[in-house]
């Protein structure tokens, strides 16, 4: 009989072993088989059971809040598509992006369960479960204006305070209304305009003539190009390849200042040949090319693309912002900030501060130097030349009555018979810059006129604030 009882224990062991095998399969070997099923509500519920923190602009406009819908909290964005490239979206089904993703730790409802929760509640420590409130450095009025000025054209507008690194405007177009994400998801995913792409930080464009700021800076600091004159005939042959002026123009005899204000490609192509590969590369690097730019949301690295040391054609084209050089609009705002801020680039940031539920300041952005790109004198010299661009050069469309502004136009050739992109980078007031812009409008034509127009309107809007 005892043997039989032992056999019953053996039976129990066998049955428990069967259970264990099954558990090992379900929980250890292949949990994804079950978790990946659409019936798994966990991912949705985990995110939408509690309200998230609110997001405000620097001027106090409410940009994102959680609203109770049925049993869930859904995100509401009063500014819709205008702020989508910055805020991103938060959706139980489609996930998170932008600030919603980058600062999820602060925005989400933190849990303090388990022993820590019990003990801390017991000794009545204030262990707040409430999410934090985030304030951005963005000005909602300027942001809205910039979005309207692009008027559904593809492109981006970035504005930054050169002294602090605060990003004031960050617009990318086309955008979409995150409040209607679910209805529009299918259409958005297949939209060839790539509305999910934040062009301001992730879009890579050839900088065109705006790159000449860097070529110029490298030349000035190395005492090259001053006294150099070139007779611009509208075309130049380098190694069997031609560098051309836009629309068959020719500038005649030009020195470095005239070449910059009138944006002479041939002068700058020859200048970059004088500078050589190494100098151009090291100066681009000083401005942040091929470097990681710290920012709250992901930023694409801008790249010079000068790989072949002996490729003179590529070098000449690179010096005027074509060839393989690619930049983000954010990168170009940093380049311009160096000119506006005595050669120093401040770390760009978009979060002003983070406050707890009861208004206690948890984190505050500080102004930190990112790169020292240039000597002060060089920056001042280029600043003067950029004022000339607006005053009497290619950037007249950007001039604002009653205030001195500085800037540089750009035409980024894209080939395939398409219209070139229109660039403008600039700052105001020229004497003591408080705002720097980088504007690109895709396929808006040569000469940077369209972008310069947006700059002008933006500065006008900005001045209303004083």
Contacts with other proteins by CB under 8 A lie at 1-9, 11-13, 15-16, 18-20, 22-24, 26-28, 31-35, 37, 39-42, 45-46, 111-119, 121-122, 124, 129
Measured in degrees and rounded to the nearest 5, phi and psi for residue 410 equal -155, 145
C-beta closer to other proteins: residue 94 or 112? 112
C-beta closer to other proteins: residue 28 or 361? 28
Name the minimum Å distance from CB 89 to other proteins.
23
Under 8 Å CB-to-CB from 163, ≥6 apart: which residues? 341, 346, 367, 434
C-beta closer to other proteins: residue 5 or 361? 5
Strands (E), 176-265: 230-232, 235-238, 241-244, 252-254
- What is the rounded distance in angstroms from the CA atom of residue 63 to the CA atom of residue 54? 7
Tell me the angle at which helices 140-150 and 449-463 cross, rounded to the nearest 10 degrees: 150
C-beta closer to other proteins: residue 121 or 392? 121
Tell me the angle at which helices 329-340 and 376-392 cross, rounded to the nearest 10 degrees: 110
C-beta closer to other proteins: residue 60 or 113? 113
CA distances from 378 to 164, 222, 343 (A): 21, 10, 8
C-beta closer to other proteins: residue 41 or 361? 41
Cβ count within 10 A of residue 203: 21
Name the minimum Å distance from CB 175 to other proteins.
34
Name the minimum Å distance from CB 25 to other proteins.
9
Name the minimum Å distance from CB 35 to other proteins.
5
- What is the rounded distance in angstroms from the CA atom of residue 254 to the CA atom of residue 262? 9
C-beta closer to other proteins: residue 13 or 182? 13
Quote the tokens at residue 208.
Answer: 């065109």
Name the minimum Å distance from CB 97 to other proteins.
24
Name the minimum Å distance from CB 22 to other proteins.
5
How far is the first Cα of the chain from the last one, in angstroms, to the nearest whole number? Answer: 99
Name the minimum Å distance from CB 24 to other proteins.
7
Under 8 Å CB-to-CB from 309, ≥6 apart: which residues? 277
C-beta closer to other proteins: residue 112 or 246? 112
Nearest partner of 251 among 278, 239, 269, judged by Cα: 269
- What is the rounded distance in angstroms from the CA atom of residue 100 to the CA atom of residue 402? 40
C-beta closer to other proteins: residue 118 or 363? 118
Summarize the chain as % helix, strand, coil (round to 5): 40, 20, 40
**Using an 8 Å Cβ cutoff, are 56 and 63 in contact?**
yes
Name the minimum Å distance from CB 117 to other proteins.
3
Name the minimum Å distance from CB 48 to other proteins.
12
Name the minimum Å distance from CB 34 to other proteins.
4
Question: 341-375: b or e for each residue (b if 16 or more CB lie within 10 Å)?
Answer: bbbbbbbbbbbbbbbbeeeeeeeebeeeebbebbe
**Using an 8 Å Cβ cutoff, are 132 and 54 in contact?**
no
E strand or H helix that includes residue 87: helix 84-87
- What is the rounded distance in angstroms from the CA atom of residue 154 to the CA atom of residue 142? 18
Name the minimum Å distance from CB 356 to other proteins.
18
């Amino acid at each position: 009989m005892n043997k039989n009882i032992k056999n019953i224990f053996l039976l129990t062991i066998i049955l428990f072993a069967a259970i264990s095998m099954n558990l090992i399969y379900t929980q250890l070997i292949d949990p994804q088989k079950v978790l990946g099923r659409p019936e798994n509500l966990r991912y949705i519920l985990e995110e939408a059971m509690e309200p998230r923190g609110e997001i405000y602009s620097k001027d106090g406009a409410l940009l994102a809040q959680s609203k109770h819908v049925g049993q869930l909290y859904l995100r509401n964005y009063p500014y819709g598509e205008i702020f989508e490239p910055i805020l991103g979206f938060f959706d139980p089904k489609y996930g998170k992006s932008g600030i919603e993703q980058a600062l999820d730790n602060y925005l989400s409802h933190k849990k303090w369960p388990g022993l820590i929760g019990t003990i801390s509640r017991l000794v009545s420590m204030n262990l707040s479960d409430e999410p934090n409130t985030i304030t951005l450095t963005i000005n909602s009025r300027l942001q809205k204006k910039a979005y309207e000025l692009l008027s559904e054209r593809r492109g981006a507008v970035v504005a930054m305070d050169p002294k602090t690194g605060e990003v004031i405007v960050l617009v990318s177009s086309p955008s979409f209304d995150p409040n209607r994400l679910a209805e529009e998801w299918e259409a958005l995913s297949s939209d060839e305009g790539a509305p999910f792409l934040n062009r301001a930080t992730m879009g890579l464009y050839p900088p065109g003539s705006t790159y000449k700021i860097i070529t110029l800076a490298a030349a000035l600091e190395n005492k090259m190009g001053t006294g150099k004159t070139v007779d611009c005939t509208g075309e130049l042959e380098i190694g069997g390849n031609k560098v051309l002026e836009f629309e068959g123009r020719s500038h005649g005899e030009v020195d470095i200042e005239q070449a910059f204000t009138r944006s002479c490609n041939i002068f700058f192509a020859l200048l970059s040949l004088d500078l050589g590969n190494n100098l151009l590369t090291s100066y681009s690097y000083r401005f942040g090319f091929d470097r990681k730019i710290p920012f709250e949301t992901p930023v694409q690295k801008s790249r010079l693309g000068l790989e072949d040391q002996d490729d003179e054609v590529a070098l000449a084209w690179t010096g005027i912002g074509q060839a393989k050089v690619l930049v983000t609009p954010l990168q170009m705002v940093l380049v311009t900030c160096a000119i506006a801020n005595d050669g120093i680039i401040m770390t760009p940031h978009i979060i002003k501060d983070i406050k707890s539920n009861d208004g206690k300041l948890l984190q505050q952005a500080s102004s930190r130097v990112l790169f020292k790109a240039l000597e002060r004198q060089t920056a001042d010299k280029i600043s003067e030349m950029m004022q000339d661009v607006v005053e009497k050069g290619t950037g007249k469309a950007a001039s604002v009555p009653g205030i001195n502004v500085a800037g540089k136009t750009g035409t980024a050739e894209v080939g395939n018979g398409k219209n070139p992109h229109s660039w403008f980078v600039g700052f105001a007031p020229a004497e003591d810059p408080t705002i720097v812009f980088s504007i690109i409008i895709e396929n808006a034509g040569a000469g940077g006129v369209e972008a310069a127009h947006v700059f002008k309107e933006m500065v006008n809007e900005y001045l209303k604030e004083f």
